[in-house]
Structure 1
Amino acid sequence: MLLGAIEAGGTKFVCAVSDLELNIVERISLPTTTPEETLNAVYTFFDNYTLDALAIGSFGPIDVNKKSPTYGYITSTPKTAWKNFDLLGALKERYNLPIAFTTDVNAAAYGELKHGAAKGKESCIYLTVGTGIGGGVVINNKVIEGFSHPEMGHLVVKRHPDDHFDGVCPYHGDCLEGLAAGPAIEGRFQQKAFELPNDHQAWDIEAFYLAQAAVNYTLTLSPEIIIFGGGVSKQEQLYPKMRQYFAELMNGYYATPPLEDYLVYCDLGDNAGITGTLLLAKEAIK
């Protein structure tokens, strides 16, 4: 039996085929251009295999409500060509098999729960911090979705006392994504995050915002672990600062696991999304 997975990102589509033990048979990366061009390349890849199930972890926002007439659509994305595009419908029209559909960050959270930093646990939050900020949640081994999916990057946060940057979010300005995503760091300091030295003021500001988010997620959802991914989160100097701010903000109110084990970088790195998507494809067979 073979599983298919699509990690549909705003920059690239990663497609993979594996067996039921998640051993990769073949994996490719395609540029995200127009829906027609990108999907034709996706079809060319998967048409070489007889799949038993497929799963999609997509950039968003997407409609995950199975009762909605636009279930399976990419909705209000800034990528104009993909706005209100029926991604799930296009793949169902091509392939008559079970297809799971969720966000890329939900898939990454599920991958980390089953094979990564949260292995052996029943709940986790995965927060990617890069070009944007997005979060996925797994509670009791189930990906959390309601009338829509979590949009955890647009949390309202209080400002760092030394930060006077307006923010980059086109919808909210100074939400978490507007103040802490990669473009916010670059806009504030005129350098990309990876170009800044480890002792730069940027990391204190960044840790302050991410710690606030982690406190709010903890008080709301009580995950067993919060896992960070994405390019900005690769900066090791963030974590001691973030844990310190987290402890100060929580102020002894709420017990958590030791913060060295609670606020952590992902184990699977760039493979979290495709791993989780393959796992969701495997579950779709059931």
Structure 2
Amino acid sequence: MSTLPYLAGVELGGTKVFVLRARGRTIEERVMIPTTTPQETLSAAAALLRRWHEAGPFEALGIGSFGPLRLDRAAADFGHMLPTPKPGWTGADIYGALAGVLPCPAAIDTDVNGAALAEVRWGAGAEGDGPSDCLCYITIGTGLGAGFALHGRPLHGAMHPELGHIMTRRAPDDSFEGACPFHSDCIEGLVSGPALAKRFGVAGNRIAADDPRWDDVAHDIAQMVGTILLTTAARQVLIGGGVGMGRTDLLERVRAKVVAQLAGYLPFVTEATIGSIVRPPALGDQAGPLGAVALAMDALEAARLR
């Protein structure tokens, strides 16, 4: 029988929530809840956490959520959702609704920062001689989010990274106006799932791989990747999510365009190395749930050190 403590995890996404119970990095139970209203969604997740805790007490809770989030513990609205395109979720108290039902240490971060931590510890960032010192995890799906693990810790500052809303240089002759309600043609507004549906007129998974319109999408994603490599010198840029992992042909186009756009300026980015730098997450669709587990482990470690 395992002597590892029970850990609780919640991965809160824009369309679905995974609530899980784990021992170490082994997820023993997982339940999916649709993301509807904050009240309905968070109440259902909290009720499940309470029930599991009564059956076998949790030692810590990790919450990985879509954002933007307030992560400054000194702020009055710590753990709340900041203005978001997700209807009804602005101002939602994510941390309070979930951590408030369990008498144990808890941590909250973005789902992508959590996934980056999981990939550093157990995935792509752990495949070399030691943990990667700088890894970026991107999810492209309902929105576009990016998290960074820097020296084994999530990157924070005034906020967390909001890479989805950077502006990139557009492909020549691309007239697509974008789909972001805040910025129109930021990178999320150009390549997220809803943006692709607006750009193509149908869902992206119904567009043939050889459709020439994918060239503009690959150009835009490559612009983002190039920006990451130039600003952070990340060793890996992992592209996950429904768009990221669902189209290997698109990833190949992105790699070629990254090399071409950087034009030899970064000596570590070449045709020979780009495949190991820009790649899918090694943990696949488990990066997000395991990210919540990684955050729970960090919360437990921090509590033990206090």
TM surpasses 0.5? yes
Aligned partners of 2:239 and 2:280 also within 8 Å: yes
**Superposition deviation, residue 81 in structure 1:** 3.1
The answer for the alignment partner of 2:304 in structure 1 is none
Aligned partners of 2:13 and 2:66 also within 8 Å: yes
Give the AA of the match of 1:13.
V
Q: Identify which of 254, 276, 290 aligns with 1:275.
A: 290
The answer for the alignment partner of 1:71 in structure 2 is 78
Report % sequence identity: 36
The answer for the alignment partner of 1:240 in structure 2 is 252
Q: Identify which of 199, 208, 211 aligns with 2:219.
A: 208
Deviates more, 1:88-97 or 1:101-110: 88-97
Give the AA of the match of 2:153.
K
Aligned residue for 2:67, secondary structure, equals coil
Aligned residue for 1:82, secondary structure, equals coil
Q: Identify which of 150, 153, 161 aligns with 2:164.
A: 153
Aligned partners of 2:85 and 2:181 also within 8 Å: no
What is the CA–CA distance in structure 2 between the aligned matches of 1:256 and 1:206, rounded to whole Å? Answer: 24
Map Cα deviations across residues 53-105 of structure 1 (whole Å, 9 max, x no partner). Answer: 00100111110112211111112123343221222122333212110110011
What is the CA–CA distance in structure 2 between the aligned matches of 1:239 and 1:17, rounded to whole Å? Answer: 33
Unaligned runs of 5+ in 1: none
Q: Identify which of 194, 197, 200 aligns with 1:189.
A: 200
Aligned partners of 1:123 and 1:138 also within 8 Å: yes
Unaligned runs of 5+ in 2: 302-306
Find out whether 1:253 has 2:271 as its counterpart: no
Give the AA of the match of 2:222.
A
What is the CA–CA distance in structure 2 between the aligned matches of 1:38 and 1:186, rounded to whole Å? Answer: 26
Aligned partners of 2:84 and 2:90 also within 8 Å: yes
TM-score normalised by L of structure 2: 0.89
Find out whether 1:2 has 2:6 as its counterpart: yes
**Superposition deviation, residue 190 in structure 1:** 1.0
**Superposition deviation, residue 145 in structure 1:** 0.9
Aligned partners of 2:45 and 2:98 also within 8 Å: no
Aligned residues: 285
Find out whether 1:224 has 2:227 as its counterpart: no
What is the CA–CA distance in structure 1 between the aligned matches of 2:38 and 2:141, rounded to whole Å? Answer: 24
Q: Identify which of 260, 264, 280 aligns with 1:265.
A: 280
Map Cα deviations across residues 167-190 of structure 1 (whole Å, 9 max, x no partner). Answer: 101111111111111222221221
Give the AA of the match of 2:58.
L
What is the CA–CA distance in structure 1 between the aligned matches of 2:132 and 2:174, rounded to whole Å? Answer: 37
Aligned partners of 1:10 and 1:32 also within 8 Å: yes
RMSD: 1.4
The answer for the alignment partner of 1:110 in structure 2 is 117
Aligned residue for 1:118, secondary structure, equals helix
